[in-house]
Amino acid sequence: MKILLSFFFTLILFWEAQLIQFNFGEAIHSLSPPVDNFREYLNDFLGDDDILPLEENEILVINLWATWCRPCIQEIPELNALVEKYQGQDIRFLAFTDESKEVFEKFRKRRPSFEFSFEKSFENLEAMSVLMRMDKEYHGRAIPLHVLVKKDGSVKEVFVGGSKYDIQRIERFIKKEIKSKK
């Protein structure tokens, strides 16, 4: 009898989890941000953030990450190299996490040599939600997530990844945007 009750209890929990996941996925799909000028749209969610307002004609490289995400942490030194390489050009490198500054500082204490040169936003769940909704492939359930925004404010590309290829993809985007007139 105990085995039968355990089986039914497990089955009910599984169905409930599937229902919650389905509803969350549907909610993400039903709320797509406008893409005419994503920079202006995102500015609405940066009010209480450490990130200064985004300005016209800035190229944006946006990264969603977390301290527990191994691919996120592995790609950060290469992302830092891009920040350094394109410093002084109208490019903003922004990083968003749902974690707190305290979690980040504890992580840094364990890894004192760790640096992340992006402008960082912590616990801005509204901005995170907007950015996660951009992900059509994984529906905001995978990181690191990259959002590339052109000078005109339109979103060029959204993708999940943490490989050397993805860093090259970001750099190709930057070079092309720098060369474009607008």
The domains of the chain are located at 1-30, 34-179
Residues 6+ apart with CB under 8 A from 37: 152, 153, 154
The predicted structure's pLDDT at residue 51: 85
Which sign does the torsion angle of CA 28, 31, 36, 40 carry? negative
Angle between helices 164-179 and 70-85 in degrees, nearest 10: 30
Q: What is the mean pLDDT of the chain?
A: 82
Cis link prior to 77 (omega < 30° from 0)?
Answer: no
- The SS3 assignment for 143 reads coil
CATH number of 34-179: 3.40.30.10
Residues 157-175: tens digit of each pLDDT: 999 988 889 999 999 999 9
The predicted structure's pLDDT at residue 40: 87
Q: How many residues does the chain have?
A: 182
Residues 48-80: tens digit of each pLDDT: 677 888 888 999 999 999 999 999 999 999 999
Per the CB < 8 A criterion, the answer to whether 28 and 140 are in contact is: yes
- Taking only the tens of pLDDT, the chain with its 182 residues reads 556 444 444 434 344 444 334 343 444 333 455 557 888 888 888 876 778 888 889 999 999 999 999 999 999 999 999 999 999 999 999 999 999 999 999 999 999 999 999 999 999 898 888 899 888 888 888 999 999 999 999 999 999 988 889 999 999 999 999 998 76
- The SS3 assignment for 16 reads helix
